[in-house]
């Protein structure tokens, strides 16, 4: 997990500079994603071995973070549409491929966790989404270069926001289900013990 956190910190540093220089909503999504992933993976590492309540709470924090990122990305895409700034297609493609390579390494490190609890599975889902996102960003840069239009970048920014919203919902739903199941087990175990006054 520590290696995955380091990969995301490196990705954040590189893509943040590129996003600013390239005027890209899609790369801005990548930047936010690398930063959020480094933070949430650190949280995942901290809660390993803790109670179901703590682990599901961490997963809910991640869900809220993904939803907030989706709102930020959507807002940035709309602002770019209003400003009408043409992004740098070649820079978008290059940084998209860099991000894809970084996330492929992270995904290979995390693939064994893809069927874990909500907290662990959220790490796998985030990394998988990041890999797909970076490939989409690379393709976006090519489309911007070929068309000379900013619209491919803006469209991908909106699509990525939708992907983040969906992942946030999936993580929250699983975390709440696990929390409710744990509460039901606890109540069930308590009801099996006779009271002291019986």
Q: What is the pLDDT of residues 127-171, one digit of tens each?
A: 777 888 788 889 999 999 999 888 888 888 888 888 888 878 888
- 19: Cβ contacts below 8 Å, ≥ 6 apart: 27, 28, 30, 31, 95
Round to whole Å and give the CA distance between 67 and 165: 5
Q: Outline where DSSP puts E strands in 76-192.
A: none
Asked whether the predicted pLDDT for residue 103 surpasses 70, the reply is yes
pLDDT, residue 109, reads: 81
User: Are the beta carbons of 49 and 20 closer than 8 angstroms?
Assistant: no
Asked whether the predicted pLDDT for residue 73 surpasses 50, the reply is yes
pTM for this prediction: 0.69
Residue 87 is given by DSSP the state P
pLDDT band of 181, cuts 50, 70, 90: confident
Using CB atoms within 10 Å of the CB of residue 9, give its burial: 0 to 12 exposed, 13 to 18 middle, 19+ buried.
middle
Span 99-120, mean pLDDT?
Answer: 77
pLDDT tens for each residue of 21-65: 887 877 877 787 788 778 777 877 777 777 777 777 877 887 888
How many CB atoms sit inside 10 A of residue 66's CB?
Answer: 27
Where is average pLDDT lowest: 41-50, 78-87, 111-120, 131-140? 111-120
Asked whether the predicted pLDDT for residue 120 surpasses 70, the reply is no
pLDDT, residue 98, reads: 93
How many CB atoms sit inside 10 A of residue 190's CB?
Answer: 9
pLDDT, residue 115, reads: 67
- 189: Cβ contacts below 8 Å, ≥ 6 apart: none
User: Are the beta carbons of 69 and 46 closer than 8 angstroms?
Assistant: no
pLDDT, residue 82, reads: 75
Helix (H) or strand (E) holding 192: none
Single out the residue of 159, 165, 113 nearest to residue 136, CA to CA: 159
Residue 60 phi/psi, 5-degree rounding, is -65, -35
How many CB atoms sit inside 10 A of residue 184's CB?
Answer: 10
Per-residue tokens: 10 = 């490196």
Single out the residue of 186, 159, 157, 178 nearest to residue 63, CA to CA: 178
């Amino acid at each position: 997990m520590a290696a995955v956190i380091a990969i995301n910190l490196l990705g954040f540093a590189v893509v943040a500079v590129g996003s600013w220089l390239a005027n890209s909503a899609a790369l801005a999504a990548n930047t936010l994603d690398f930063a959020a992933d480094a933070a949430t993976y650190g949280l995942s590492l901290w809660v390993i071995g803790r109670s179901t309540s703590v682990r599901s709470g961490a997963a809910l924090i991640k869900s809220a973070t993904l939803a907030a990122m989706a709102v930020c990305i959507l807002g940035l895409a709309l602002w770019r549409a209003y400003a009408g700034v043409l992004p740098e297609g070649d820079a978008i493609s290059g940084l998209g491929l860099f991000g894809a390579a970084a996330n492929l390494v992270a995904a290979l490190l995390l693939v064994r966790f893809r069927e874990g609890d909500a907290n662990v599975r959220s790490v796998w889902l985030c990394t998988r989404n990041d890999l797909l996102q970076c490939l989409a960003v690379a393709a976006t840069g090519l489309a911007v270069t070929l068309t000379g239009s900013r619209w491919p970048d803006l469209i991908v920014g909106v699509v990525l926001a939708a992907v983040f919203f969906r992942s946030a919902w999936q993580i929250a739903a699983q975390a709440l289900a696990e929390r409710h199941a744990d509460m039901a087990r606890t109540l069930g175990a308590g009801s099996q013990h006779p009271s002291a006054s019986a």
